[in-house]
Copies of this chain bind each other. A is one copy, B any other.
Amino acid sequence: MAKKILIIAGDYVEDYELMVPYQAMLSIGLEVDVMAPSRNKGDIIPTAIHDFVGDQTYTELRGHNFEINVDYNKVDPEAYDALYLPGGRAPEYIRLNQRVIEITRHFFDKNKPVLAVCHGIQILTTAGVLKGRSLTAYMAVGPDIELAGGTWENVSVDEAVVDGNLVTSPAWPGHPAMLNEFYKLLGITISHG
């Protein structure tokens, strides 16, 4: 049976970091629900384009709209096999929502696979689930990982770090690597004919 994935998004989530893993997971037959605090099925959230053009940080432009496909107050984490936390500017504020933190902790309590990229890791630092864990994130989030008791791995933006149930990557260039590791954790095998 197809595994069921929960994604936690919010206004100004990074455009690629929401849509690429969402559609990539759907394309191999996973079921994927995307929630955002106070947003219901059919609600539209704006996304942000974060690009790396040689400045000390990324640029930001307005991205596509994204249609949420599950009511936020109907999400039962028990119903999902794994969690994905995209980045952008959403995580810094949606981590203030207690339900987001509770849902996130469920996946660590049950040792279910968790995938997170870029600023998505800000939800993990706030959830208090990083003690003793090795992971990566956008470089600016590194100090928060250390404050939360974890170790920030300084890897290339197209790499992924795996530590038990947790797969992380610094930014959207890491999608292929992190998704590949995530699929392995989910027990999915892909055979090329």
- A→B interface (CB under 8 Å): 1-3, 15-16, 19-20, 23-24, 26-30, 49, 51, 53, 61-65, 175-176, 179-180, 183, 186-193
Contact = CB atoms under 8 A, between A and B. Distances in A.
Contacts of A20: 19-20, 23-24
Contacts of A188: 190-193
A176 B20 CA distance: 10
A101 to B, nearest CB: 28
Nearest to A61: B62
Contact of A179 (B2, B27, B176): B27
Contacts of A64: 15-16, 49, 51
The secondary structure that dominates the A interface is mixed
Contacts of A49: 15, 49, 62-64
Contact of A186 (B1, B61, B179, B193): B193
22 contacts: A1-B192, A3-B192, A15-B64, A16-B23, A16-B64, A20-B20, A23-B24, A23-B176, A23-B179, A24-B27, A24-B179, A26-B176, A27-B176, A27-B179, A28-B28, A29-B180, A61-B61, A63-B63, A186-B192, A187-B192, A188-B191, A188-B193
A64 B175 CA distance: 15
A5 to B, nearest CB: 12
A130 to B, nearest CB: 25
Contacts of A53: 65
Contacts of A180: 27-29
